Amino acid sequence: MTQLYETTAVNQDGMNGKSYLKDGETYTVSSPLSKAEGTNPEELVGLAMSTCFNSTIKAILKEERIESASKVETTVKLHRETEEPGYYFTVDVYLGIEGMNEEKAARYVEKTKKRCPVAKLMPISSTVRFYPTIF
Amino acid sequence: MTQLYETTAVNQDGMNGKSYLKDGETYTVSSPLSKAEGTNPEELVGLAMSTCFNSTIKAILKEERIESASKVETTVKLHRETEEPGYYFTVDVYLGIEGMNEEKAARYVEKTKKRCPVAKLMPISSTVRFYPTIF
């Protein structure tokens, strides 16, 4: 038994209305192309990735007894498909580690993307990319 | 120029603290294994998927002039890796369409997973699965 936790999220309204957790919060959602209040899948994906990726690098740094702070910024962009109907996202993840230059941080980007559960859900494709940056 | 929107999410605290949007809300995050208040990557991935997948099926039904309601439930489970350090998620997405049996809904699951931007970020792998269900 490897399962530690589960949660279920429900949407009945589509992009404009509410999404909710069966055992938790309700969130107002709205199209990113509207001015309406609310979050959207782009924000939610970015928050999930930044939180998970930074939590993972912190675990790796701790294992290596490195006491540097770290920061993850994830930019999610919405694009219109050109060859078919619909849209796609690009996801760009930037990891900075205190006191490390980009070359050194790049080694930790590689380690972290192999271990972070959210990164593992997304293939290493042209639309999901990971970069080292200065902290 | 196909880009329509972008957002950037930042985390400095890891799994326990805050994650925030550069131009928006701040969210309290906490480990799903703790009792602390706050959301977590599992909830955020589930909310993103349910919102995006249901928005996409609604667009497809509208194109086909089908006026049925739809509902998406996404269950995200956290598992411990057995062969290496760390964790992984499984993501199970259930689509129900009013008035359709599972066989008919299954055809729409296939169409939707090819078009939904969040589904397109995740490979069709053993850890991300899509199912028809009764509405």
Instruction: Please write the tens of the pLDDT for every residue from B97-106.
Output: 999 999 999 9
Cβ–Cβ below 8 Å for A7 and B127 = no
Q: What's the confidence (pLDDT) of residue A123?
A: 73
The three-class DSSP label of residue A74 is strand
Q: CA–CA separation, B40 vs B32, rounded Å?
A: 6
Q: What's the confidence (pLDDT) of residue A126?
A: 76
Instruction: Lay out the sheet containing A17-21: strands in order across.
Output: A26-29, A17-21, A3-11, B70-80, B87-97, B128-133
Q: Could you report the per-residue pLDDT of B52-111, keeping only the tens digit for each? A: 999 999 999 999 999 999 999 999 999 999 999 999 999 999 999 999 999 999 999 999
Q: What's the confidence (pLDDT) of residue B123?
A: 73
pTM of structure: 0.97
pLDDT higher than 90, residue B124: no
Question: CA A109, B129, B61, B52 torsion: positive or negative?
Answer: negative
Q: CA–CA separation, B110 vs B106, rounded Å?
A: 6
Question: Of B128, B56, B26, nearest to A43 (Cα)?
Answer: B26
Does the domain at A41-134 match CATH 3.30.300.20? Answer given as: yes
The three-class DSSP label of residue A45 is helix
Residue B85, classified by CB atoms within 10 Å of its CB into exposed (0-12), middle (13-18) or buried (19+), is: exposed
What is the pLDDT of chain B when averaged over all its residues?
A: 96
Q: What's the confidence (pLDDT) of residue B1?
A: 63
Q: Are A54 and B11 in contact (CB under 8 A)?
A: yes
Domain ranges of chain A: 1-39, 41-134
Which residues of chain A fall below pLDDT 50?
none
Residues 2-61 of B with CB under 8 A from A: 2-15, 19, 21-22, 24-25, 27, 29, 32-33, 39-56, 58-59
Cβ–Cβ below 8 Å for A46 and B117 = no
Q: Could you report the per-residue pLDDT of B17-60, keeping only the tens digit for each? A: 999 999 999 999 999 999 999 999 999 999 999 999 999 999 99
Question: Of B77, B72, B68, nearest to B53 (Cα)?
Answer: B72
